Chain A
Amino acid sequence: ETGVTQSPTHLIKTRGQQVTLRCSSQSGHNTVSWYQQALGQGPQFIFQYYREEENGRGNFPPRFSGLQFPNYSSELNVNALELDDSALYLCASSSGPPGQVGEQYFGPGTRLTVT
């Protein structure tokens, strides 16, 4: 078990609604990355936060946004939900400043279903 926790575990939303997903990083980790994992696919990088600032973004539209708090926990917000947003959303934490790569640990994920 990693120290990364996510909430909620499951969520059902309607197309057009907004959703907020939450993540608590492992103790001592100051970097949080969010990934989207569609069924049968590998995780796809959404964005990363380091010390409360966005530190890189993948190929996702602006309606995907995030926050990181002083305790390094993080939120992923998705506006104007679309059916294709249905996926497992994963949070991963790691330590170290940008430019330094190291072990990354994932949380259990939030399963989002958009109907």
Chain B
Amino acid sequence: GESVGLHLPTLSVQEGDNSIINCAYSNSASDYFIWYKQESGKGPQFIIDIRSNMDKRQGQRVTVLLNKTVKHLSLQIAATQPGDSAVYFCAENGEPRNQFYFGTGTSLTVIP
């Protein structure tokens, strides 16, 4: 079955620095990926998505990179702020469509 994993379970960055969160996936047939942010006690919040026909997608302060050759995703957060502190999940689509497989998450802590 599919598996989505994250390279680093925890990440601490200084406020204002850039953050990079990595994710590996195993199903080469997955064609859609979403990054979610989850704050304590809340549901996952949609950050940005990317389809497999793209290598890069940019949002407001966030960029997602997709490397299909090595089945790797990354989320880059520019000028990290204290409000960015949360657990970040990457999710890949499975079957049925709109079912997503999640990794265990990376906990990002921003140091003021």
Contact = CB atoms under 8 A, between A and B. Distances in A.
B58 interface: no
Contacts of A48: 96, 98-99
Contacts of B95: 56
Contacts of A6: 43
Q: Is the interface of A mostly helix, strand, loop or mixed?
A: loop
B104 A104 contact: no
A42 B89 contact: yes
B43 A109 contact: yes
Contact of A90 (B43, B94, B101): B43
Residue of A6, A31, A99, A101 most packed against chain B (CB within 10 A): A101
A103 to B, nearest CB: 6
Interface in B69-101: 89, 91, 93-101
Interface residues of B, number: 26
Interface in B1-56: 4, 31-32, 34, 36, 42-46, 49
Interface string A87-99: 0001000101011
A39 B41 CA distance: 11
Contacts, number: 70
Given A40-B104, A104-B34, A99 B44 contact: no
Residue of A42, A103, A107 most packed against chain B (CB within 10 A): A42
A50 B18 CA distance: 40
Q: Which 8 A-B pairs have the closest CB atoms?
A: A42-B102, A56-B96, A106-B43, A101-B97, A101-B93, A94-B98, A101-B32, A108-B43
21 contacts: A2-B45, A33-B98, A40-B104, A42-B4, A42-B104, A42-B105, A43-B89, A45-B99, A48-B96, A56-B99, A58-B99, A98-B97, A101-B97, A101-B98, A102-B98, A103-B34, A104-B100, A106-B44, A106-B46, A108-B42, A109-B43
